[in-house]
Structure 1
Amino acid sequence: MDGLYLICVTSGSGLPVFTRSVGNVKQLPFPVIGSLNAVHMFAANHEAELKSTATEDARIVWKEFHDSLVLIAVHCGNGRVVDCELERLLDRTWAAMVLLYGLEELRQIRNVERFKREIKVCHPLIDTLLRRVELPVFSDVTGAVEGVLASEATALQNFLEAFVEAADTPYGCLLSHGRLVGATAKWWDLSATELVLLSLLGLSFSPCSCRDVPIYLPDKSPTVPHRLMTFKLMAHVEVWVICGPTPSLSQLEMEIARFWVAAVDTLHQVRQIHPRNFPASIDVDNNILGFILINAATHHSVTSVDVRREGKDSGELRGRREALREFYGSVWDSQMGGPVTEEASTDVKHTITDSYTVYSSHKCYAHICGNYQIFVLFSSKIPTYAMRNVCKKTLDAFVKDKSVMI
């Protein structure tokens, strides 16, 4: 079984801060951690930058941040993984640490032992990033936040705007099963990194009726803290706001019933869209098992591995997610340009708009049209020549349906 280590050490001194892991792997002994840091330091002392290396059964990637901390990713096993995937994990881990601890505190570590205790606040989110194949969403690899497409979203937007105004903040969103149903304009103005990390942060939370969490915005406000307040409206449905010092959690909690009681029936209807995640008004081909649809302009996506609500067991649905993840990673990182980020390079000599892969158990097809990217998992029964046409028709169905917006 493949395993993955994520190691954090201080720059220069190489003092270990934390090690997180996933998979059937043993705890790394201190001499191994020391050696991994030492080879990186050796290269730096000789004016060389060591980014990655590979052994017979492992791939290792290093990255230093702000001359303060070095993050090391070690992938063990025979599974396919590429350097850019591990580097993306390190970047997301650093951003997660900024989100929950603050950039200034990460730059200036005065007491390592205290820092090791305090940085534990980031462990649940980091562990969520490491559990890539187990996640019910794809946003950690696509760089786009996942949403639920619902015709009721427009009506719910009015309730959201009123509640956000009462919280005296422009930042708010409504979620169903951890996916965005609606958000304010300012929420959509957050960077792709911030949108994705906030959604993954929600997956790392333990269930509760409400919470008040201090956060930093890695791109918009990495040194000034804000408060993320979340409120459970019903099972699997929450409303979030990002506020300043006021109002208090208890004050806003008292307003929940006043603002949302009239929306209960509509919220229930939206909740029922899961796990399909898009309305019945959009019909898809019977050969489609799952898909990832991304709007690169808005960093918004919708995904599904149960398009017909077939009641498949969790093992089969997980297999579909893994197949889609593998296909996305193989064609996007190596052929079609890279993850959806503001920094993604557009300096290419030509653009690949279509790619497909055929397996014995399934088939996959990717198609890009303007800002839209669609990655489709098909059953093996579909004729290979038909996949492109079905992909284009599916994309058109989503884009042209005026009752939803992606």
Structure 2
Amino acid sequence: MMMMRRRRRRMLQDGSTQLLCLTASSGVPLFTRGASKQLPFSVIGSLNGVHMFGGGQGVVLSCCQTEGGGKVVWRVFQDSVMLIAVSGGGGGGGRSGAGGKEEEEAEEEEGEEEEVRLQRLLENVWSCMVLVLGQDELANVRNVERLKRDLRSCFSLIDQLLEERHEGILGNLTHCADSLLPPNPAILQEAVDAFAQAADSEFGCLIVHGRIATATEKWWRLAPQEVVLLSALIRSLSASGSSSCDYPVFLPQGSPTVAHRLLRFQLLPGADACVLCGPTPSLHRAETGLVVRFWSPLLETLRDCLAVGERCLPGSVSLRPDVLAFLLINRETRRSVCSVRPSTCQPLSKARCWELLKLFYIFCISRYFTQEETLCVSPEERTHRGIAEDFAAGFSHQPQQCYLVTEECKSYGLQTSQHQLYLLILPSVPTFALRTVATQTLSDLTAATRF
């Protein structure tokens, strides 16, 4: 078990993130997203220039930290597109006097955690661009002005990644499918399988409150990042207010150059049925025939599923009252379920609980726990993920548990061969009891849901 010293400061400094996209060869800006106050053109040019200078000297510049505590991260994809993430710090520089060394170490730790987040952001943004436009158009830029126009169709997805609009949606960070566990899974599974088969497809899913309630076996076999980004796209399409849509998509890993059709149908507000298919069926035939045939008899079952809400668990599943929030990951299926339960005994808002849960996850995977999704990426991308491996190299074993004590709450991480569990716990719980709370919570969740 890894024990961490008590940290008296917040895990994240205030700041905003700005995303820059440029052509890799000439540095022509393609778009800028995030942060209300954009960086001056001269600064953007300097960020591109220093990266190009390093490349000319045989050095790959991937990350740097500013004096104010901010972070800059660079990535070049397909030797064609450069993405730069700039994260503003909340203050900072060096400190002196008692505690100065401890503060510096804490700042260094936070910097590593922020780099993990920004690197994941750049990976997701590139995959979003491939999802919408296809790899060929991005890897072979023939007309910059046309590409600028085409990239606008990616903005809603990219903004969703930057702004994290949906509380409780952590798949962008974990690369695990955000899931909701319905009270009647067998009935819904049978309906999704039959609906997809009737649509000449093996890829179908039911999305409830932006999370996957059930899906076909082939849908789960898609690369984890593809499942996450498809869910994000479905949330974006659902927010547009349309009752149905036919949207061309490329699978960043499975089919980056050949488009598929994503058919989405609103069954009830907050519930969408989707399939990935070929030229048939037409949107009209699927909407007027298949949706009515397979989903109309299940309206009450869908309402029961919607009633689960952001808790993401059936009402029959109970949790200990001292658990404020949890994130449970199934390492085999790359699925996750999470929930926040603010307590009247703890002055933490729901939004702050979500923030702390995300930060604790980053803290754990950047130091102790393994990241299976690295097996799904190209060798060149693996070279950018050395933080956890370098830190863990000093251990003689693979850590299975860790905890963190702060003024706001106590956090506990637990890893088994099949699961990872991240908990936020009331600060009144004795530290020696955290392991018992975590093991009992994992047992209760898996026994009740078979997740």
Q: Tell me, which stretches of 5 or more residues in structure 2 are unaligned?
A: 1-13, 92-109, 377-381
Q: Are residue 242 (structure 1) and residue 276 (structure 2) matched?
A: yes
The match for 2:50 among 30, 39, 53 is 39
In structure 2, the residue matched to 1:374 is: 421
**Equivalences for 1:126-137 in 2 at 5 Å?**
126-132=158-164, 135-137=167-169
Q: Are residue 76 (structure 1) and residue 76 (structure 2) matched?
A: no
The alpha carbon displacement at 1:132 in A equals 3.4
C-alpha separation in 2, matches of 1:274 and 1:397: 20
In structure 1, the residue matched to 2:179 is: 147
C-alpha separation in 2, matches of 1:44 and 1:380: 49
Change (3 A) 1:293 1:307: farther
CA contact (8 A) 2:209 2:270 kept: yes
Q: Are residue 99 (structure 1) and residue 131 (structure 2) matched?
A: yes
CA contact (8 A) 1:160 1:183 kept: yes
Amino acid at match of 1:7: L
The alpha carbon displacement at 1:336 in A equals 1.9
**Equivalences for 1:383-394 in 2 at 5 Å?**
383-394=430-441
Structure with the greater relative contact order (CA < 8 A, sep ≥ 6): 1 or 2? 2
The match for 2:315 among 258, 276, 280 is 280
CA contact (8 A) 1:62 1:70 kept: yes
C-alpha separation in 1, matches of 2:61 and 2:373: 26
1:242-299 per-position Cα deviation (integer Å, ceiling 9, x unaligned): 1111111111000211211111111111111112111232221110111000011111
1:82-114 per-position Cα deviation (integer Å, ceiling 9, x unaligned): 322211111111111110110111111100001
In structure 2, the residue matched to 1:291 is: 326
Change (3 A) 1:367 1:304: same
The match for 2:122 among 75, 90, 105 is 90
The alpha carbon displacement at 1:340 in A equals 4.1
In structure 1, the residue matched to 2:30 is: 17
In structure 2, the residue matched to 1:363 is: 410
1:39-70 per-position Cα deviation (integer Å, ceiling 9, x unaligned): 11111111111111111122111111111011
The alpha carbon displacement at 1:201 in A equals 1.8
C-alpha separation in 1, matches of 2:85 and 2:147: 21
SS state of the match for residue 141, structure 1? helix
CA contact (8 A) 1:125 1:200 kept: yes
CA contact (8 A) 1:214 1:227 kept: yes
Q: Tell me, which stretches of 5 or more residues in structure 1 are unaligned?
A: none
In structure 2, the residue matched to 1:67 is: 79
The match for 2:198 among 166, 179, 184 is 166
In structure 1, the residue matched to 2:60 is: 49
Change (3 A) 1:133 1:232: closer
CA contact (8 A) 1:275 1:306 kept: no
Q: Are residue 208 (structure 1) and residue 215 (structure 2) matched?
A: no
Q: Are residue 258 (structure 1) and residue 293 (structure 2) matched?
A: yes
**Equivalences for 1:299-310 in 2 at 5 Å?**
299-306=334-341
C-alpha separation in 2, matches of 1:185 and 1:272: 25
C-alpha separation in 2, matches of 1:133 and 1:229: 23
Amino acid at match of 2:330: N
In structure 2, the residue matched to 1:198 is: 230
SS state of the match for residue 97, structure 1? helix
C-alpha separation in 1, matches of 2:30 and 2:167: 26
CA contact (8 A) 2:342 2:350 kept: no
In structure 2, the residue matched to 1:329 is: 362
Amino acid at match of 2:215: A
In structure 1, the residue matched to 2:210 is: 178
SS state of the match for residue 338, structure 2? strand
C-alpha separation in 1, matches of 2:166 and 2:255: 30
The alpha carbon displacement at 1:405 in A equals 3.7
The alpha carbon displacement at 1:342 in A equals 2.8
Q: Are residue 231 (structure 1) and residue 265 (structure 2) matched?
A: yes
The alpha carbon displacement at 1:387 in A equals 1.4
CA contact (8 A) 1:333 1:339 kept: no
1:132-178 per-position Cα deviation (integer Å, ceiling 9, x unaligned): 37643111111101111123011111111111111110000011101
CA contact (8 A) 2:72 2:85 kept: yes
Amino acid at match of 1:5: Q
SS state of the match for residue 2, structure 1? coil
